Amino acid sequence: MASQEPVYTTPVSKEAVVTVDKPVALSKYTSRVVLKSILERSDGGRGLDGERVVVGGWVKSSKEVEKQAVALATPPTMPRPQPPQVGDDKSGVAKEVSFVEILQSRIPFLRTIIKVLGCTNNAAHVRQKLESIISKPAPPTPPASIVFLQVSDGSCVASLQVAVDSSIAPPSNVMPTGTCIVAEGVLKQPPVNGKHVIELRVEKILHIGTVEQDKYPLSKKRLPLDMLRDFSHFRPRTTTVASVTRIRSAMSLATHTFLQNNGFMYVQVPIITTTDTEGFSEKFQVTTLLNKAIKKEEFKVINGIDGVSLEMVKASLKEKSNLVDELKRTDSNKEALVAAVQDLKKTNELASQLEARKNFKQLKSIKADSFNFSEDFFCCQTYLTVSGRLHLESYACALGNVYSFGPRFRADKTESAKHAAEMWMVDVEIAFSQLEDAINCADDYFKSLCKCVLDNCLQDLDFVSKRIDKTCIDRLQSMISGSSAKVSYEEAVDALQKVADKKFESKLERGMPLTAEHLSYLADELYKRPVIIYNYPKAVKPFYVRLNTDGKTVAAFDMVVPKVGIVISGSQNEERINMLNTRIEELGLARAQYEWYLDLRRHGTVMHSGFSLGFDLMVLFITGLTDVIDAIPFPRRSGKAYI
């Protein structure tokens, strides 16, 4: 189907909706009714029978039915008596009358014309032609039909059935999947009992946004999630991604609600930072020097490498191409044409070489140690932040309990279904607190997210349980009613070493980080519930975590949940400046980066703790999705930025 501009007709009439007293929710800034207010009523919308509304949405599926078939499904009614028509007999029953008979009875002079023309030399031909015109039947008109559209506006899982008569809009305009329509009509109960208890009988189409069917990626039904990743701009129109997005939205609101209600203040931390927050993470560097270096190299290439200018070659290429075309047209000098073609070929090769040098030599010639960061935008090295906790500490030391919610970045090329380059985190910092306080807060926050989704997204969870993970609702209920297991790192290692019926692919070594395989076994098999592991060896945690009295472990914890692994990591942070200095020296960190952080210990230090929740991983846990890419609206992963 060729690309078409959206069809606009009469603007939406607010009077059609606002002046009618009805219990449906209008979208505040438009004239349409939100489909959720119709379809998620306790009666499924049956109580709105007879209400006039304007709705808008996208076609999920469609079906065209001839009116005759629709009429057969409705209760029969007595026909109205009609006056006698042409051809009726005395009994009032109409006889069949042909089109030619009608013409001859109403236009008798046509027969006269035929007879008169019969006297000419070409009488037979003309008479035959006219008679064929008179007797030719009219082209058949397409049968009247009704199109049934399943329309969704993204407010809920269910779709509204919308019935459009073919006299109101051509079926071919409204039926393709993905078509956007705005329609005005009356809500009615369908004449035949089915899965829909209410439908919209359209009286006026206000807008049609057409679709190029052969190019629209969602024309095929049930595309797998991995294929949808290449169409991030369209995948929210699928029921699965829409449900996940509504769950994310509910979780975002629940995050702010829980923390605000418990005395936390919302603080925005920087995305660009001079500090390596964890001391050993893979970071994205932010610089404008690379562009400047490329421009310098490009200047060298374009303005003469070995005395040859790329622009000059391109101009010569155009002239020689015109000469070849002219010689081909004249066909007068074949030897000159052969020479010109050869010359054009050599010039093309030269242009290709210069282009290649331009594209590939630029980056190859640029070395990182050649950068003078004092000339950079910020006059120093800067990175995309991997955590907001250090910056939050400065506000916790002034305002008490604070939190932040935003994107965090790691330039880690590890192939993992639990990792993306950009992931959203909730960072929490609690002043005047210790490790146990942070653990209790994290546990309460985790349960509040589970409860919020159960209370507010049950329709979406029902869909997710059918399409993705049938255990998701039971899992969330068990999280709310149950408690987390709390074990030290040493206890976790001991429990894993006692496992006899499982051979781990990764070797279990005391003092080393527990792998995803080990963590999964603890939560899924041994404890079958969330596990909070605390008091890790100091070598496996960031430099700022408080050293315990044994001198070997630090006051850090991880919450490990079934199916996903770690969703929350937290710690009590080191408030003693001498201990912090020692850790910075042990790890060989650039001390200058952390002078501001050390100042917090020099001037009015306080014991404090906090944690970070992986928001995208929490979505994974709630929905049962297996790859975090499918839980992120616009994912970024090593080798793929999608859009």
Whether the Cβ atoms of residue 262 and residue 447 lie closer than 8 Å to each other: no
The arithmetic mean of pLDDT across residues 508-530, rounded, is 94
Cβ pair 73, 193 in contact under 8 A? no
Alpha-carbon distance of 257 to 259, in angstroms, equals 6
* CB atoms near residue 566 (< 10 Å): 18
Is the pLDDT at 441 greater than 70? The verdict is yes
| 154-175 pLDDT tens trace | 999 999 999 999 999 999 999 9
For residue range 338-354, list pLDDT tens digits in order.
788 788 877 877 777 66
Share in percent of the chain as helix, strand, coil (round to 5): 40, 20, 40
Q: What tokens does 211 get? A: 């679709």
State the residue for tokens 């596990």: 531
Q: Which of 394, 390, 404, 393 is nearest to 265 (CA)?
A: 404
Flag whether the pTM goes above 0.95: no
Q: Domain-by-domain residue ranges, the chain? A: 7-68+143-219, 99-135, 242-284+381-631, 293-370
Residue range 595-615: mean pLDDT, rounded: 96
CB 287 within 8 A of CB 383: no
Element (H, E) at 329: helix 310-330
Hey, what amino acid is at 513?
A: P
Q: What is the DSSP code (8-state) at residue 634?
A: S
* Residue 261: pLDDT over 70: yes
**Token pair for residue 624?**
């049962």
Fold of the CATH domain 242-284+381-631? BirA Bifunctional Protein; domain 2 (3.30.930)
Neighbouring-strand partners of residue 311: none
Mean pLDDT score, 588-607: 93
Fold designation for 7-68+143-219: OB fold (Dihydrolipoamide Acetyltransferase, E2P) (2.40.50)
Could you write out the DSSP letters of every residue in 114-160? Answer: HHHHTTSTTHHHHHHHHHHHHHSPPPPPPPPEEEEEEEE-SSSSS-E
Specify the pairing of strand 52-66 against strand 145-152.
Answer: antiparallel
Integer Rg of the chain from CA: 37
Quote the pLDDT of residue 130. Answer: 54
**What residue type is assigned to position 186 of the chain?**
V
CA distance to 238, 314, 487, 492, 623, per residue, from 513 (Å): 39, 59, 15, 11, 27
Mean pLDDT of the chain: 83
For residue 107, which of 130, 138, 140 has the smallest C-alpha distance? 130
Q: What is the pLDDT of residue 193?
A: 80
SS3 state at 389: helix
Band of the pLDDT at 370, cuts 50, 70, 90?
A: low
Q: Cβ of 515: how many Cβ atoms within 10 Å? A: 16
pLDDT in tens, 63-85: 999 887 665 555 554 454 454 44
pLDDT in tens, 171-201: 999 999 999 999 999 999 998 888 899 999 9
Q: What is the pLDDT of residue 364?
A: 47
User: Burial, 335: exposed, middle or buried (Cβ in 10 Å; 0-12, 13-18, 19+)?
Assistant: exposed
Least confident of 111-120, 336-345, 399-408: 111-120
Sign of CA dihedral 128, 129, 133, 134: negative
Torsion sign, CA atoms 127, 128, 131, 132: negative
- Determine whether 323 is exposed, middle or buried from the number of CB atoms within 10 Å of its CB (0-12, 13-18, 19+): middle
Residue 545 has pLDDT above 70, yes or no: yes
Rounded Cα–Cα distance for residues 202 and 208 (Å): 13
CA angle 445, 449, 454 (to 5 degrees): 145
Question: So what's the pLDDT on residue 293?
Answer: 58
